[in-house]
A and B are shown apart, each in its own frame.
Chain A
Amino acid sequence: MAERVRVKTMSPPGHVRAPHYLRGKTGEIERPLGAYKNPEQLAYGLDAAPKELFRVRFTMAEIWGDRAERAEDTLDAEIYAHWLERL
């Protein structure tokens, strides 16, 4: 069974790589993509440690609620581990 995760709701005022519309939403890990230098550090010209990146799958119902045109359709987003809480 796929691992379920929730996108953190934090909103630090800077260059971040978790879209606002997915924060607080729950999805499942579709696949791990490997580790990449943290773009949130690279953006400021700083040394960046590798961070694990995951492809996370959300249902339209989870993201848009009653506004979803087709609730069972899914959306994949690539999100770094430090933005995810394992459920």
Chain B
Amino acid sequence: MGMDVAAARIDYTHIVRLEDVQKHFGAIHALKNINLAIGRNEIVGLIGDNGAGKSTLIKTLTGVLKPSSGHIYVRDRQINLEDYSVGMAHELAIQTVYQDKSLGEKQPLWRNFFVGRQITNRWGFIDIKKEKEIANDILKRAIGFRGKGITVDSNVKQLSGGERQGIAIGRAMHFKADLIVLDEPTVALAVKEVRKVLDFVRRIKEQGHACIYIEHNLAHVHEVADRLVVLDRGEIVSEIRPQDMTVAALTEYLIEMQNRT
């Protein structure tokens, strides 16, 4: 597996491609004929109203949910959907930062950095010293937390919303994600914190990776995305390049879409 991934990393056009993906929850048709390809170094904004299927789409893409039918390609290679899981997505360098669901609230930061991918000996015992060292390094260098009394032993509970997003994004970058999926990272953040998060998003692209960015706030996503994919009732209805449409026009367009039933 490891060899495969290394070889596949060298040359590919799309980090992820969904082909005719469908998802049903009982009678509900949550995703309809989804065809979506993400290039290796672009920021794709995913927009649409509540219940449009944004969350279902990224959960399917990252191995949390199994599609009812369709195909998923990672680095142009088809994935066996029976085996596809969060763990496998991690191995394939796909990381997700969920709004409020990425960090264990009561756990210290160092555990949060490594849970699911602990540095252990062969018996499964964690090398706490090493994990804390690396966590400290991520905190200080990659994320740029300085002072403020936050250490690797701090609990997530003590962090602000923006800091949490920073930790989760920093973790994803540390694990060399080629694709980082962000689920509404700026919800409930103060203006200053939003700026920080948007800077994190830009840094993902600067470092040569790809990003799928789900956002309610159109101004935020319009600012950083290379293209915007619009979802409505489980379907992709259009693709927009930010330079072709102002935020105001985009807002109008989405409202109009909602009224069209």
Q: Do A and B bind each other?
A: no
Q: What residues of chain B have their CB less than 8 Å away from a CB belonging to chain A?
A: none
Q: What residues of chain A have their CB less than 8 Å away from a CB belonging to chain B?
A: none
